[in-house]
Structure 1
Amino acid sequence: MKCPFCNHSELKVTDSREAPEINAIRRRRECLNCQRRFTTFETFQLVQQVLKRDGRYEDFDEGKLIRGLEAACRHTTISHEQMFAIAHQITFTLMQRQVKDVTTKEIGEMVMAKLQGLDPIAYIRFACVYRRFTDLGDLMEAIKFVQDQKEPVLSKKF
């Protein structure tokens, strides 16, 4: 690692803490040349393969998962911190399973399970892309599913 300010390679770690919300270690570093300080985050790298619908394999990429969540959650009640937490929880779950490959179906279902309880609009947006709705009937079924999940337990007698 090199200093981002002067490109010098000799650095000193001045502080190290866990950042559990993003499954990382936060390190405060100081350059021994220019004495400027900066923060780095060390995260684990998941080396699982994702089996795509077309039969191809690609490396699991948490960044891609986050981008998908950002698209689904744009202009909803879900914060960036919640999106990152969902992505990290899914990554952690996949890592704990200790299998060498995972399907896009498994990942998609995990995301939908997380979004379902947080925001119905984000859930529907993600479902539209993930399930590849071909007509309005499929979309209406997904909306009905979300509405049925949100029905109050008590009857509405006024």
Structure 2
Amino acid sequence: MARRTDAAAGTPATVALTRAGIAFRALSYEHDPRAAAYGLEAAEKLGLDPDRVFKTLLASVDGALAVGIVPVAMQLDLKALAQALGGKRAEMADPALAERKTGYVVGGISPIGQKALLPTVLDESAILAETIYISGGRRGLDLELAPDDLIAVTGGRYAPIARKR
């Protein structure tokens, strides 16, 4: 997989990956503003297996922000996220707060290149894939990379944090 640094993919996420020397591939698609589920839209428009396309969600774990990354066809198990981070209680973060703290807009929040490094947990199902797809930092842009590289660049960890809808 070649590194891509073209202007169309120039986001804080792609800049961070390039600086870290991590191989990735940027995939763009025409985002439909009426789409209800951004991750499922990406999987459909890019012709990808939804089990390999992951969404980035922000939650408050015992009052501190954290990132949970789960397959787009699944839900974030808040209790499992709290447990993975050694906390007791988790709830979804307010979307406006998520945007302020990450520097990204909802539907385009990447786990990479956020304003501050937040505790990050990637669902363990990612281990099964050679590469996965995550938001590239804007709606209509996904990045393909190895899950271990995502863990390395975010300082994250694997845990079983996804559940069926």
With the shorter chain as reference, the TM-score category is under 0.3
Higher relative strand content: 2
Higher relative contact order (CA 8 A, sep 6+): 2
TM-score, normalised with respect to structure 2: 0.26
* TM score, norm. by length of structure 1: 0.27
Bigger helix fraction: 1
